[in-house]
Structure 1
């Protein structure tokens, strides 16, 4: 016997979040077929082509895919993937690189060592963590990341690493220590995790971090940023743009040298 946990939209297809399956040593594909048989006919469709299936927290696609065997007492999580982004994840491509954005809830147990451990576990992913207070929205985030990519392309990074350049541009400083102090991870404060890698590895990362995540950009950080960077109403009024504060921050980040 093993347990199936339905996450997000997958829960709408069944009357309960957990299903106890009285079988073992069946494959992921056999489980999918079984779930489609068990699903009530009057419930929303279960899109089995756009789900991550994790066994005890590990992405099955990194094992044997749909041939992965499920053992007795395993916990199998069915996690829908909304391509392009969801309230808890945003993905996009820049300069042929896949970029995934997740917001991690603040916790006493999460600090810089958390990122170091992720780097060890996922050596092919570039990571950077930026305090949620320093990011306004998706527009602001994408623009800053694009600045760093273009700086790398033109060999004018603010540091010798792309991920460090990203943090420095959000913090609007050319000093790495100041960037870490102001815009880096702080105990009990939420942060935006920027991960750059291939889709398969990023999907595995998302499965692992989903329980720690929270909805992206749910807090209005405009007052904090205006105060921190001393951006006045006069300055804001002088900019003719739909994204006034964002564009001021992006301009300041662009001229860092």
Structure 2
């Protein structure tokens, strides 16, 4: 349970010993066992996932449940929801999470997230280093191709992705400039099966930026990569800065 649901029951996890056959029965049961001195449990505005799959994509509140199902319950706060940024690259499912800083994101948070979601490739980057979704697609395509052809800049594709965004072969330099910064917002880029991405989404949803990828990073990246007006004028494309930066990532060996 997350957000208001967690506060309503004074816990983030409930193990049910009673047999529950549908989500409707689950909601009724939770209303019966909710402590009286906690916040009201709004049953009409809930996002409920069964094993990482949104119940609205199943049979809604009539969705059948079995004994080993993991149910995630998240209150819906109207007016503040964030759209999901999902796409595919080289037959790989990808999602970008624009994360707002929270004091719970300690130094080892990323490692813990990777251990919890072992079937996903997860990397965190400084949000200033992404121009657009298209920029991310191009960088990830380079890293995935490098993995396929065994030409990655590092043993791990997570590190290769970081190096490509930084346009450097030096891991320490990439971590310093593009890596996640403590006490700051950051982006998480995850690749894997949709069901695994759904589980990660439900965990990160309370911390998502309601206006994802809305920063104008062109001035910063133009300065960061020493791109001149003359260089930009030579490249005839919709986003010449993006193409120049991607080219820098492509030629790394």
Shift of 1:204: 1.0
- TM-score, length-normalised on structure 1? 0.71
**Aligned partner of residue 102 in structure 1, secondary structure:** strand
Which structure 1 segments of 5+ residues have no match?
7-23, 35-50, 80-85
Equivalence for 1:68: 65
Aligned partner (choices 170, 178, 185) of residue 175 of structure 1:
170
Equivalence for 1:96: 91
Aligned partner (choices 223, 229, 240) of residue 227 of structure 1:
223
Which structure 2 segments of 5+ residues have no match?
6-17, 29-45
Equivalence for 1:42: none
Contact 1:131–1:184, Cα closer than 8 Å, also in 2: yes
- TM-score, length-normalised on structure 2? 0.72
Residues 1-257 of structure 1: matches in 2 within 5 Å? 27-30=21-24, 53-54=48-49, 59=52, 66-68=63-65, 76-77=73-74, 87-214=82-209, 215-257=211-253
1:152-190: per-residue Cα shift (whole Å, max 9, x none)?
111110111111111100011101111111000102222
Distance 1:247 1:191 in 2: 23
> Where has structure 1 moved over 6 Å in runs of 4 or more?
none
1:131-165: per-residue Cα shift (whole Å, max 9, x none)?
10000001111000001011111111011111111
Distance 1:53 1:98 in 2: 22
1:24-74: per-residue Cα shift (whole Å, max 9, x none)?
975445369x9xxxxxxxxxxxxxxxx96248xx74779xx933379xxx9
**Aligned partner of residue 108 in structure 2, secondary structure:** helix
Distance 2:86 2:24 in 1: 30
1:95-137: per-residue Cα shift (whole Å, max 9, x none)?
3221111111123442541110111111111111111000000
Question: For the aligned residues, what is the CA RMSD?
Answer: 3.4
Distance 2:47 2:72 in 1: 14
**Aligned partner of residue 67 in structure 1, secondary structure:** coil
Contact 2:52–2:195, Cα closer than 8 Å, also in 1: no
CA distance 1:160–1:210, change in 2 (3 Å): same
Greater share of strand: 1
Residues matched between the structures, number: 209
Contact 2:47–2:73, Cα closer than 8 Å, also in 1: no
**Aligned partner of residue 174 in structure 1, secondary structure:** coil
